[in-house]
Amino acid sequence: MSKCNVWIEVGDVNYQPGDTVTGTAYVEVDKECKCDALTIKKYWATHGKGNCDSGAAESLELFTGLWQPGTYNYPFEFVFERTPVSYHGYNINIDWYLDLRADIPWSMDPRGKQDLILEKCNDDRYSADEVAGEAHSSTELTTQKFSPYILILFPLIFMLIGLYMLIVNFDIIFGGVFTFAGAAISYKFIQSTLAERKLGQVKCELDINTVKPGDEIKCSITFSPKSKIKVNAITASLIGKEISTSGSGTNRSTYYHTFHLNKKKMSPSGHFEKSDYVTDNVLFDIPSDAVASFSARNNDIVWSVEVDIDINKWPDWNKTLAVVVID
């Protein structure tokens, strides 16, 4: 049986979006060897605490046929996409790779691998329309992960399972845990609705939700109480967070890591009379080294502004506003 070795050589390992990766794939055989396909693939993949995600795969077929003893070289080139850039965080890492594979019949396929680094873009080579389209895709992918119907049914299922265990099986421990968990989640969903019985309709928004590192974002809040209330505090927080999921089914675990937190207190607090007009806003600076938003099946890098109104002796009002950071 012939011996076949393959490897990759590239001119550089550091690139920016839009750059062209040029290199050469090498093959060395010591005997006559048939190859059904010599292919090279460029792709990104995650590694870390969560399950592996990958994407943006692009393949080239470099050769098909018969090799005689000797060394062969095949030039190739790829153009880098805009995202995702390489990232090394706490639970999530994103890297780019070149993977060379020779499909040899009746043999283990020899493979070669090369790591690449995609850096942030240092210029404005992309138009505003391209940036807007990318931001829309990122937001859409994140919001499609959870259907609102699932969010409503999930706590109800917990409560029904708990009640069944309590009533039918007389299982106080597990029945109580499931019932309490379902009730707690349900309360979380209706908490802001209860708060608005005192606050009235709360308008909370961002002036923009798609930003670049170094940009400024404004969060504003407005409400008019339906009755006399005391507001202990109104806070807004700019949060950057890694969310990674490992395992599946009953062994599925989700890990959270907050890598950025900037909490600010908004000025309107204290006693308010019915129909008072309450309004304020707060500014946040997006860090100059902010990592771009990222969304995949098991790994996410998310930015948001979380607003909380602490009402004295009444459920708090809170809202999370999504922020998309692009490179």
Q: What is the domain partition of the chain in residue ranges?
A: 4-122, 142-325
Is the domain 142-325 a CATH 2.60.40.640 member? yes
**Same CATH fold, 142-325 and 4-122?**
yes
The overall average pLDDT reported for the chain is 84
Pure H helices in 200-292:
none
Query: Closest Cα to residue 73, out of 100, 42, 104, 34?
Result: 100
Mean pLDDT of 123-131: 50
Mean pLDDT of 212-241: 94
Q: Is the confidence at residue 191, as pLDDT, over 70?
A: no
Q: Which of 11-15, 116-120, 159-163 has the lowest mean pLDDT?
A: 159-163
User: How much is the pLDDT for 127?
Assistant: 47
Q: Is the confidence at residue 170, as pLDDT, over 70?
A: no
Q: Which of 163-167, 195-199, 226-230 has the lowest mean pLDDT?
A: 163-167
d(CA 304, CA 188): 18
User: How much is the pLDDT for 218?
Assistant: 97
The band of 181, judged by pLDDT with boundaries at 50, 70 and 90, is low
Q: pLDDT: is 193 or 63 the higher one?
A: 63
User: How much is the pLDDT for 198?
Assistant: 82
Name the CATH code of domain 4-122 (choices 3.40.50.300, 2.60.40.640, 3.40.50.20, 3.10.20.600).
2.60.40.640
Mean pLDDT of 297-325: 93
Whether residue 135 contacts residue 211, with contact meaning beta carbons closer than 8 Å, is answered with: no
